[in-house]
Amino acid sequence: MGGRLRNVPLQHSAKHPVILPGKSHVVTLIVREIHEESGHAGREHVLALLREHYWVIDARQVSRSVLSQCFVCKRMSAAPVKQKMADLPQDRVVPALPPFTHVGVDYFGPLSVKRGRSVGERYGCLFTCLCLKAIHIEKVRTLDVDSFVCAFQRFMARRGKPQVLRSDNGANFVGAERLLRDIIASWNQNTPNDDYWEV
């Protein structure tokens, strides 16, 4: 096969590529190998690498069919699922109310606290305004009901009495709800299988 590319500085396989039929299982395997070794490159790049050594009849159609069957490429180019979101509850979107009218409460910790030579543990009681996302933190010694009631009284002394309180189903919150039932107009606790009280 002569040709006019004798003086071109290319490999022999690039000057004289092997001619292969498009409808061949061997060609499919060659295209798949080139595609995977090139890091799952696109169709044009795979065609360029293929034509360095082979001339495949209907190469564009073969590469299109091989790349459309690649599971890695399907996974990488898949469109993300759009999350269906529920409407926000009314206590999150009423802007005319004063801060901390609708409150969510939860604990965090324990935090190590050093006093003199002794080291103890303390917890934080986090009150969050559901509308403004402002926070108020109170320090509590333990996770029992009495500690929460004291923290809640300190919170009310500074921020005022909330109308709605949201919390999880912790034993301290369930016990405190019984004690503070006449103070709080509405105390919403999430169902046991839910992760978060704030929706």
> Could you read off the pLDDT of 96-137 as tens digits, one per residue?
788 898 888 999 989 998 888 899 899 999 999 988 889 999
In this prediction, residue 157 carries a pLDDT of 94
Give the pLDDT score at 192: 61
160-198 residue pLDDT tens: 999 888 888 888 888 888 888 788 778 777 766 665 555
Does the pLDDT value for residue 151 go beyond 90? yes
Pairing of strands 186-189, 135-140: unpaired
Q: Could you tell me the residue ranges of all domains in the chain?
A: 13-76, 90-189
pLDDT, greater one: 90 or 45? 45
Whether the predicted pLDDT of 15 surpasses 50: yes
Homologous superfamily (CATH) for 90-189: Ribonuclease H-like superfamily/Ribonuclease H (3.30.420.10)
pLDDT of residue 199: 47
Average of pLDDT values for 53-60? 89
Confidence of residue 2 (pLDDT cuts 50, 70, 90): low
Average pLDDT over residues 33-49: 92
Phi then psi for residue 43, to 5 deg, are -65, -45
